[in-house]
Amino acid sequence: MITLGLEGTAHTTSASVLDEKKIYSMESRTFRPAKGGINPREAANFHFENVVDVIRKAISQSGFSSGDIQLIGFSKGPGLPPSLKITAVAARALALKLNIPIVGVNHPLGHIEIGRRETGSVDPVMLYVSGGNTQIIAHRKGRYRVLGETLDIGIGNLLDKIARDMGYAFPGGPEIEKLAKGGEKLLNLPYSVNGMDCSFSGIYTAAKNHLQKGERKEDVAYSVQEISFAMLVETLERALYTSGKGEMLLAGGVARNNRLKEMIGIMAQEAGVDVFETPEKYCMDNGAMIGQAAILTYEKFGGQKIEDTAIDQMYRIDEVDAPWVNEVHIKYRNMGAESTITEGKFHDYLTVTKERTRKSYRNTELDSDIREKRMKNEITCLYRMMNAGINVPAVFSMDRDALRFEMERIEGIQISNMESLNGQVIEEIAQAVSTLHQNNIVHGDLTLNNIIIRDGVLYFLDPSMGKVTVNKTEMAYDLRLLKESIISVYGIDPYREMEELYISYGEKCREVVMELNDMEKRRRYV
Contact 134, 193 (CB under 8 A): no
Rounded CA separation 478/195 (Å): 8
Residue 335 binned pLDDT confidence (cut-offs 50, 70, 90) = low
- What is the per-residue pLDDT across 47-68, written as a single tens digit (0 to 9) for each? 999 999 999 999 999 999 999 9
In sequence order, what are the beta bridge partners of 468? 441
Residue 400 binned pLDDT confidence (cut-offs 50, 70, 90) = confident
Q: Where are the domains of the chain?
A: 3-114+283-319, 119-280, 339-521
Contact 438, 468 (CB under 8 A): no
Rounded CA separation 485/482 (Å): 5
In sequence order, what are the beta bridge partners of 263? none
Residue 525 binned pLDDT confidence (cut-offs 50, 70, 90) = very low
What percent of the chain is helix, strand and coil (3-state, nearest 5)?
50, 20, 30
* Pair type for strands 12-18 and 23-30: antiparallel
Class of domain 119-280: alpha beta
Is the model's pLDDT at 122 over the cut of 90? yes
Residue 491: predicted pLDDT = 85
* Pair type for strands 247-251 and 125-129: parallel
Residue 6: predicted pLDDT = 98
Q: In Å, what is the CA distance from 433 to each residue of 46, 376, 389, 465, 492? A: 50, 21, 11, 16, 18
Residue 241: predicted pLDDT = 87
Is CATH 3.30.420.40 correct for 3-114+283-319?
yes
Residue 526: predicted pLDDT = 35
- What is the per-residue pLDDT across 474-513, written as a single tens digit (0 to 9) for each? 999 899 889 988 987 888 899 999 999 999 999 999 999 9
Spacing of C-alpha 194 from chain mean position: 12
- Domain 119-280 identical in fold to domain 339-521: no
Rounded CA separation 284/430 (Å): 42
Residue 332 binned pLDDT confidence (cut-offs 50, 70, 90) = confident
- What is the per-residue pLDDT across 338-384, written as a single tens digit (0 to 9) for each? 788 889 988 888 999 999 889 999 999 999 999 999 898 899 999 99
Is the model's pLDDT at 127 over the cut of 50? yes
Rounded CA separation 162/26 (Å): 31
Spacing of C-alpha 468 from chain mean position: 26
Rounded CA separation 81/341 (Å): 48
Rounded CA separation 383/381 (Å): 5
Is the model's pLDDT at 209 over the cut of 80? yes
Residue 336: predicted pLDDT = 67
Mean pLDDT of the 263-291 span: 94
- Continuous segment of H or E residues that includes residue 406: strand 404-408
Mean pLDDT of the 410-419 span: 91
Nearest Cα to Cα of residue 453 among 406, 508, 410: 410
Residue 176 binned pLDDT confidence (cut-offs 50, 70, 90) = very high
One DSSP character per residue, 192-232 reads -EETTEE--HHHHHHHHHHHHTT--HHHHHHHHHHHHHHHH
Active-site annotation, residues = 445
How big is the CA angle at 521 (ends 520 and 525), to the nearest 5 degrees? 90
Is the model's pLDDT at 19 over the cut of 50? yes
Instruction: Name which of 203-212, 224-233, 416-425 the model is least confident about.
Output: 416-425
What 3-state class would DSSP assign to 242? helix
- What is the per-residue pLDDT across 100-113, written as a single tens digit (0 to 9) for each? 999 999 999 999 99
Contact 13, 44 (CB under 8 A): no
- Residues for the chain: how many in total? 526
**CATH assignment, 339-521:** 1.10.510.10
One DSSP character per residue, 159-195 reads HHHHHHHTTPPSP-HHHHHHHHTT----------EET
Phi/psi of residue 395, each to 5°?
A: -95, 130
Residue 522 binned pLDDT confidence (cut-offs 50, 70, 90) = low
The residue type at 393: P
Which has the higher per-residue pLDDT, 526 or 522?
522
| 38: region left, alpha or beta (phi > 0 left; psi from -120 to 50 alpha) | beta
Nearest Cα to Cα of residue 220 among 182, 266, 249: 182
Torsion angle of C-alpha atoms 79, 83, 87, 92, degrees rounded to 10: 90
Is the model's pLDDT at 450 over the cut of 60? yes
- What is the per-residue pLDDT across 456-478, written as a single tens digit (0 to 9) for each? 999 999 998 898 999 999 999 89
Contact 223, 189 (CB under 8 A): yes
Average pLDDT, the chain: 93
- pLDDT exceeding 90 applies to what percent of the chain? 77
Q: In Å, what is the CA distance from 301 to each residue of 82, 305, 307, 313? A: 28, 12, 16, 22
Rounded CA separation 107/326 (Å): 21
